[in-house]
């Protein structure tokens, strides 16, 4: 297989070269979709707990969702820009935390499986 050699001596792999197909890749979401789906479903009580920490009640959650989907220019015009940013930030932060937790759990499980089969 031919490699490109740059002026500084670095070699580049061709774009179609495959590095590995091991389950221990950085984030192999295609390797175990059933595990990823199970984690998303089984973590439901954790999502509820995170959203209860972030929002006072269901009305607060609905208001934050409304702030998230309405264009910012509307809230600037109504004079509620800061409330909009705070509500949108809490919503985005909650989703980010939930996603990071599922990603971490999935990564740990995939690493465990990769070490068990090798």
Residue 77: its pLDDT value, please? 87
Q: For residue 62, give both structure tokens.
A: 């609905």
Biggest CA-to-CA distance, the chain: 63
Could you tell me if residue 35 is left (phi over 0), alpha (psi between -120 and 50 degrees) or otherwise beta? alpha
Q: Please write the tens of the pLDDT for every residue from 60-69.
A: 989 888 888 8
- The closest alpha carbon to 90, from 113, 72, 65, belongs to 65
Angle between helices 81-117 and 58-69 (to 10 degrees): 100
Q: Please write the tens of the pLDDT for every residue from 79-107.
A: 888 888 888 899 999 999 999 999 999 98
Local confidence band at 41 (pLDDT 50, 70, 90 cut-offs): very high
Task: Count other C-beta atoms under 10 Å from residue 86's C-beta.
Answer: 13
Q: What are the CA-CA distances from residue 35 to residues 44, 76, 107 (Å)?
A: 15, 43, 11
- The closest alpha carbon to 88, from 57, 67, 72, 63, belongs to 67
């Amino acid at each position: 297989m031919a490699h490109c050699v740059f002026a500084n001596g670095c070699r580049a792999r061709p774009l179609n070269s495959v590095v590995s197909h091991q389950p221990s890749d950085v984030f192999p979401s295609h390797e175990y979709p059933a595990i990823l789906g199970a984690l998303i479903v089984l973590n439901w009580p954790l999502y509820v707990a995170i959203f209860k920490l972030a929002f006072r009640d269901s009305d607060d959650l609905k208001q934050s969702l409304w702030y998230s989907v309405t264009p910012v220019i509307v809230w600037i015009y109504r004079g509620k820009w800061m409330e909009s940013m705070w509500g949108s930030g809490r919503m985005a932060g909650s989703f980010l935390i939930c996603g990071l937790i599922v990603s971490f759990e999935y990564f740990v499980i995939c690493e465990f499986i990769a070490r068990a089969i090798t």
